[in-house]
Structures are given as structure tokens and as C-alpha cells.
Amino acid sequence: MMRRAVIAALLLASPAGAQDAPPAVFSESRQLPGLSAPGEIVIDRAGIPHIYAANARDGFFLQGYAVARDRLWQIDLWRKRGLGRLSASFGPAFIAQDRASRLLLYRGDMAAEWAAYPPQAKAWTEGFAAGINAFVADVAAGRQPLPMEFAATASQPERWRADDIVRIRSNALASNVPSEVLRARALCGGDVRNEPLRRQLEPARPVIIPKGLDPCGIPDNVLADYMLGTSDVRFDGKQAVVASRTDPETLEGSNNWVISRARSATGRPILANDPHRAHAVPNLRYLSHIDTPELKIAGSGEPALPGVSFGHNEDAAWAITIFAIDQQDLVVNPAGTALISVADSIEVKGASPQAIVLKFTADGPIIHEDAASGRSFALRATWSKPGASAYFNAAWAFAARNWDEFLIARDHWGAPPLNLLFASRAGDIGWAPGGFVPARTAGDGLLPVPAGKAHGWKGLLDARLMPVVHNPPQGWFATANENNVPAGYPHLLGLEWNDRSRITRIAEVIGSKPKFSLTDAMTLQNDATSAMARRAVAILQGLNGRDAPEVAALALLKVWDGHEGPESAPAALYEIWASRHLPQAAVKAIVPEAMRRNFGRTSIGNVLPVLEDGTLLGPDAKARRENILLGSLGGAFAEATRLLGPDPATWRWGALHVADFKPALAIPGREAERRVGPLPIGGSGSTPMAMGSAPDFHVQSGASVRLVMDVGAWDNSMAINTPGQSGDPASPHYRDLFPRWATGQYVPFVWSRPRVLQEAERIIRVSPAN
């Protein structure tokens, strides 16, 4: 009851939640240098900009201006982090991160880089950068306010260049160097037979240590620079470390599905997408719409990049989820290896410039040098190739009208590796994963490799050899980061995938409906039923508790249907058990004590297959399995009692699992106005409504945006961002979408100009400056 009251109050307070007649439309005019012709930015009642321009270059210019208006601090910080320019604004505490970021920049030929994208892409990106710079100029001239974060850090926004946007590579979600290091660490004194408990591989295969590799020779801090260079900016002095947890539920994933017109209640294809990332204020995604004579697109993307990563044009739509191609190797160089040194200088606020040396081999940047052994460690990654700027090859989809043209986008896709789904107004649907695939001379990418040709790369797999599904006979296709590589496919793409819990539930729901509607799609994106929890409950059947806590825990879970609503008591107990007790109990029972120090942590997604199979449990598998299950369940019940009280009838998953978003930069005296939440939230990392938890059970990751597209009748499309489109706490669009997102509601994401004007809140009319 309290949750409903809080949400109702938030909805009444937010413009997006108001049910009254639409408010008056505000109008303003601006002159912008760099614009070639008059245009408009129509801001709708959800804060989404609809951009009308005389040409595509102006369209991207106005998108850049609109993004900067909403997210200047965020995108400026993204650029400074990616280019290694944090110290120039924030001082010497960031020198190490700047050096690490510069190691990961694209350093190849820029002509080759731009040639990997559509011919117009450079001009589009130059327009986007010019639009950002126009807003920065307005701020500098006092025509627009300086966001409070700049004042709090005594810094200023910097000017953008098109080349800088594509040179930044560290925002790509690539794998699997951290996993290689964790595996090597576990095998230092460990047993490869225990690897399935630590990390399931699909398809299953034994882990083979490459000839010449000593797992104990991988230093604990080998990825310190890598983690710094790929991590977000922190202002609390803490540095990123290699996580010892390999729980696939904590990985950033996504859902998408496409429904054929034969299975659709609309008679047209439906395409749905909800990418999952770490939550932040503001979040990683930004909704926008560009309408020009030669280019019309709408969708969502990262605000620092031009265009959209997924969405639609006039004729077709596309959607994305991570497809776990292994695009990285850690290369171990012997002592005495010749390194290429590049001198660089880091500008430092309040101090003299800091001279640094960046080192490389033909494999890639040297991310660690071990003084004791003389060895060095290089990062070999596909993102060093031309055309691997993250999400940038979505530009090939902007004008794709049909399946064959969509495959051109797939052929060019570099990073991150993605499940690309397609739907056209002509009725075609399909799946075509894309991403650069290294052709390894030997090995499978699961462990670091010695330097040399024996473990080198022979190039990249021809993208035309990637698997595809065109117009599937069942009338739909869905992905959720699971292993969906067809059986018998001859090329090794990757071995580390998310578990099948989300795709199992998605397939169950879609398959149960003869006709699937837009409402069904929105409901499924917010589905809080866990196939993993059902699987765990199934393994408990037939057990009898040995004491009161075990008996009570079994009574609560045995009859549970796996629905993880915020009001659910069984969900609270299950999540405590699944994250804090069962994995630890399994490791303690199966892994010898001497091997546990390096083994790291595991997850229920790895534990359940081991308990079901029984091989690692030894000769008395049944008794050991029961001890693991019952002992851990009793411990979880005791912890739930401590956290939630003595009466299980009063337990609520939402009492632990709350969305409470706070900006990374703390500003004393301004925290209350910048904080978003808390609100109780259902779901978990194993439900379609993906809501990954932090160690304290607070919501840490999940759907940064949700989009449901009615293909061909675009005005019917629906979307939701969170907490809002703007990063300015003074804006009505800073947190207005948060209560809707938390309760599975959406806002219209309209396309036609008449509908855009119906939804309009503000019209910014722009013209070239004299």
C-alpha cells in the first residue's frame, strides 16, 4: 500500500504522469553559428527531442545541441574520460586513469577508420560535434546556464572534434580479458575439473592450459590499468578492481524480440528492445528523433554518439543485445621483448604537465609490466581495428530499407558484438548477429596466451559466414545474451554466455500467445518471473528440513511460482539464498580448502547445473547435495530474519530491492534534489524485467531504456527511459519518467509531425547566426 501511495504521488508530481489536458506549448528562438538553414527542436512531454532540419548534417547538429542542452556534464565527462583528459579538469588524482585511457584509444589510420563507416558518417559526426560546441559556446557566453557539476569541480566543458568520438574505444562492451585472468587465478594451484562450478561454458568443453603458460605467473594486479581505462569516473578516490565474482546475472545484457505480422495482433511486425546497463543519474541512454529530407531515424543511443544505436527509419527497425563473441586475449610477453614506446604528456590542473610513456607491441597496448620477472602483458583486441568504434556502425542501418541492406550493416558491425534483430514494414523479420570475430591460430580464448605465432590471430572471420535466421517458421525470434549459436556452426565465436533464465521465460510467454500485441510486449519487458528460481525450487522438492529454519524455508519456497514481485516474501528469501548462501556452500563442499583462496566466487547459475549433474559431488552425491541445499537454506532463512524481521509473512523483496539512484559526483547541500528514489522494485537479474542487484540488494543494473516498435505504424510505438531525459535536476525531465519506469508504464514515442505536435511541450526554433 505504501509503495502504491509513493508512486502515485510521484506520478501526480511529474509532467509525464499528468492525466489532464496537455499544457500550453512553450516557444523560443535561437540563432546558432554553424547551422546551414532554419530548423526546429520539438521537445515532447517526456523530454524527447524531435528534430526537424533542412538536411542530415543540420539534423545531427541539432541533435548534438539538444543532447548538450540535456546532458552536457555527462557527455563532457565521457569525452574527457575516453581521451584521457580528466586531469586537465580535475587535477593530479586522475593521472593514472588518463594514462590508462590513452592506452586504449584507437591509434590506427584515421582515413581507414572513417572508410569503415558510411560515406556520410564523418560529415554527420562533424555536424553532431559542431552542435555540441554551439551549446558550449552559448554556455560560455552566458546564454545558457553552466551545469552545477562544472561549478562544483571548478571546471569547464571542452570543445569536441569528430575524430575524438570514434577514437574512443573503451566504452565498448568487449570480452573476455577479465575472465581469462580470473580463470588463470583459479587454476593456480586449482583443478580444472572444478571449472564448471566456477563458470559454465557453452558448449561445454574442458579447460586446457595453453602450452607455455604458467597460470601462477599472472600477477594479481595485471589488469589494474585495463580496469582504470574502462571504468567510469569516480570522485570518491576508489579505483576499479578486477571483480572476483563471475555471476552472469551481474553482466550487462539485454532482451530483444521480433514478432512476425502473422503472429502479431496488429497485423504488422513488432520489435521490442530493452538493453540492460548499470544504472546512473542520468542514465546511459537517450531517446531522440531526427527528421530531414534525406534521413529520418528515431530510437535510443548513447548521448555522446550521433544518431541512435537501435530504433527505426521510415521502412525498417533494428534492435540489439550483447552477443558474446570473445574479442580479446591477454598476451604474455617474455622478458626482453622489444616494446614500442610513445611519449605523451598529460595536462594537469594546478600542476605542470605530466610526461608519460605508453608502450605497445604488435599485439596491442602493454597494460602491465612485471618488474620481478621482466615480463609484460599486452591486450590484443578487435577494437584496435578500423571500424570498431562502439555502436558506430549503426549508421549503416539508418537507411536500411530491407533485409539485404540490413545485412550490410551486419557485415560492417565491429563492436560491441551484438544480436541484431530486424523487422521491415514489408513484413520481413530476422536475426543476424554482428561483431568482429578473431580467427585464432590455436586455443579458445579462455586463458591468457604466450606471445608468438602459435597463439596469434590470423585475421577476422568473414562477416558473411556469421549465422543468420530470416523469417523464422515459428513467426518470432528472441535473444537474451544466451548461447544461441546454431548447433554444428563451424566457427568458434565465444564460450561464455549468460544463463538461459531470461530467454526461457521470454520464449514461454511469446510461445503461449497465438497473437502477440504491443501491450504483451510491454508486459513481457516488465515480467518478474524467474526461470532460474523455478529451477532452484524444483531441486528442493523431496527434501525435509532438519531444524525449524530449514523447515520454514522449505515451506516458503516449495510452493512458490518464481514470481519476484516487490511484495513477495519467497522472492526475498530466494535472493538472499541464491546470492549469499548457496554458491558459497557449494564451493566449500566441493573445492578443497587449499584451492579456495584463488577460486573466487560463483553464482547460482553455475551451481545448479553442478548439483543437478552430481559428478563433482563425489560418490555420495545425494547426501552431499542435500547438505549443501539444506545448510545454505537454513543460513539464508536466519539472515532474512535478521534483515526483515522474525515473521516471514511480513517479508517483502521490495524492502531490500530498491531503486535509489545517486550521481557519481557528490555536491554538498545539493544531494536531496539530485537523488532519485528510493522505490521498491521487483524482478532480478534472472527475470525478463532484468534488475541486477548490488551486494546490498539495491538495484544496480537493468533496463536503461525500453522500446516497443509497431513496425510501419510508428506513431503507435512506446518507450520509457529512466530516470528522465535530462541530467539537470532543475529540469522537469530529470526524474519524471522514474515512477513510470518502476511500475512498467510507457510514454508515446511518436513519429509523424502531427502526432509530435500533439505531444509537444516546447518548440525551439533555430536559425543560422549572421
For 140-182, give the DSSP string: HTTSSPPPHHHHHHT-------HHHHHH--TTS--B-HHHHHH
- Examine the pLDDT at 243 and tell me if it is beyond 60: no
- Examine the pLDDT at 244 and tell me if it is beyond 90: no
Mean pLDDT, range 708-730, rounded to an integer: 98
- Examine the pLDDT at 12 and tell me if it is beyond 60: no
Mean pLDDT, range 568-591, rounded to an integer: 98
- Examine the pLDDT at 504 and tell me if it is beyond 60: yes
pLDDT in the model for residue 237: 72
Q: What is the pLDDT of residues 529-546, one digit of tens each?
A: 999 999 999 999 999 999
What is the rounded CA–CA span in Å between residue 156 and residue 150? 6
Express as a percent the part of the chain with pLDDT over 70. 95
CB 365 within 8 A of CB 381: no
Give which of 272, 250, 305 is closest to 416, Cα–Cα.
305
CB 379 within 8 A of CB 390: no
Burial degree of 265 (CB within 10 A; 0-12, 13-18, 19+): middle
pTM for this structure? 0.95
Mean pLDDT, range 145-174, rounded to an integer: 95
How many angstroms separate the first and last alpha carbons of the chain?
A: 59
Q: What is the pLDDT of residues 16-55, one digit of tens each?
A: 433 444 578 999 999 999 999 999 999 999 999 999 999 9
Tell the residue number behind the cell numbers 557566453, with chain if given. 141
Express as a percent the part of the chain with pLDDT over 90. 94
pLDDT in the model for residue 19: 41
Tell me the three cell numbers of residue 384.
584496435
Q: What is the pLDDT of residues 410-441, one digit of tens each?
A: 999 999 999 999 999 999 999 999 999 999 99
pLDDT in the model for residue 252: 62
Residue 533's Cβ-side half-sphere holds a number of Cα atoms within 13 Å equal to 30
pLDDT in the model for residue 16: 42
Tell me the three cell numbers of residue 226.
585495463
What is the rounded CA–CA span in Å between residue 272 and residue 525? 8
Could you tell me how many residues make up the chain? 770
Q: What is the pLDDT of residues 180-194, one digit of tens each?
A: 999 999 999 999 999
- Examine the pLDDT at 239 and tell me if it is beyond 70: no
Q: What is the pLDDT of residues 269-318, one digit of tens each?
A: 999 999 999 999 999 999 999 999 999 999 999 999 999 999 999 999 99
Rounded to the nearest angstrom, the gap between the alpha carbon of residue 674 and the centroid of all alpha carbons in its chain is: 23
pLDDT tier at 770 (50, 70, 90 boundaries)? Answer: confident
What is the rounded CA–CA span in Å between residue 122 and residue 167? 13
What is the rounded CA–CA span in Å between residue 66 and residue 69? 5
Mean pLDDT, range 336-343, rounded to an integer: 98
Return mean pLDDT, the chain. 94
pLDDT in the model for residue 3: 47
- Examine the pLDDT at 14 and tell me if it is beyond 50: no
